[in-house]
Chains A and B, each alone.
Chain A
Amino acid sequence: GDSVTQMEGPVTLSEEAFLTINCTYTATGYPSLFWYVQYPGEGLQLLLKATKADDKGSNKGFEATYRKETTSFHLEKGSVQVSDSAVYFCALSDRNGQNFVFGPGTRLSVLP
């Protein structure tokens, strides 16, 4: 079945450091890809998405590009802030909409 793999956490960075969180997927067909963020004590919020190959999703300085050839959707940010500390989930949705699969999540801590 469909699956999502994320890099193991936790990830600890200093403020203004460059962030990459790797995400790869296995799916039949051409899924849509998402990054969700969960701040402490809150639910999941959509951070960005991409619906077809070579699409780039971006929001709040975060970016991710849908790479069909490598089945990847890595999350990047050029300069992280303390307020970016959260858990980040990579997810996919198959074209039928019946299957919305999450990765295990990566906890990011940004130190001042």
Chain B
Amino acid sequence: EAQVTQNPRYLITVTGKKLTVTCSQNMNHEYMSWYRQDPGLGLRQIYYSMNVEVTDKGDVPEGYKVSRKEKRNFPLILESPSPNQTSLYFCASRPGQGASEAFFGQGTRLTVV
């Protein structure tokens, strides 16, 4: 089954404790991205990657890192999480450029206390 898998689904952590949210897709998509969803703000792009070893900042990259060492994986790293990073995070993948739709993971609800 074609899917985008995120882990964990729920995470509560403390300020400053490094964490990684994993994302994996099995569709051989070139393009992957991370979004955060906050009430009243919709989805905002954090980082995206157009292929292996190619990443770029989205609209709200501060406080986040990503890597794309393999085509299927695109982890999101919070080196020193802060409470303002409490949010619902989604990973998405697309076949490539142009009109292709995006496929989304189930989401990761992160709470930083």
Our verdict on whether A and B bind, yes or no, reads yes
Contacts of A32 in B (CB 8 A): 98-99
Interface residues of B in 58-110 (CB under 8 A from A): 90, 92, 94, 96-107
> Contact residues of B with A, CB < 8 Å?
4, 31, 33, 35, 40-43, 45, 48, 50, 90, 92, 94, 96-107
Check A43/B99 contact, CB under 8 A, given A100-B33, A100-B45, A104-B41.
Answer: no
Pairwise interchain contact A98-B97, C-beta atoms closer than 8 A = yes
**Interface membership of chain A positions 81-100, coded 1 if the CB is closer than 8 angstroms to chain B and 0 otherwise:** 00000000100010111101
Pairwise interchain contact A102-B99, C-beta atoms closer than 8 A = no
> Contact residues of A with B, CB < 8 Å?
32, 34, 36, 42-46, 49, 51, 89, 93, 95-98, 100, 102-105
The 9 closest A-B pairs by CB, nearest first: A97-B97, A104-B42, A32-B99, A43-B104, A102-B43, A44-B104, A51-B99, A43-B106, A46-B101
Pairwise interchain contact B99-A93, C-beta atoms closer than 8 A = yes
> What are 13 A-B contacts with C-beta separation under 8 Å?
A32-B99, A43-B90, A43-B106, A43-B107, A44-B43, A46-B101, A46-B103, A89-B42, A97-B97, A97-B100, A98-B48, A102-B35, A104-B40
Q: How far is the CA of A89 from the CA of B41 in the complex (A)?
A: 11
Q: How far is the CA of A103 from the CA of B40 in the complex (A)?
A: 10
Q: How far is the CA of A105 from the CA of B35 in the complex (A)?
A: 14
Seed contacts A36-B104, A105-B42; 10 additional CB < 8 Å A-B pairs: A42-B106, A43-B4, A43-B90, A43-B104, A89-B43, A97-B94, A100-B94, A100-B102, A102-B43, A105-B43
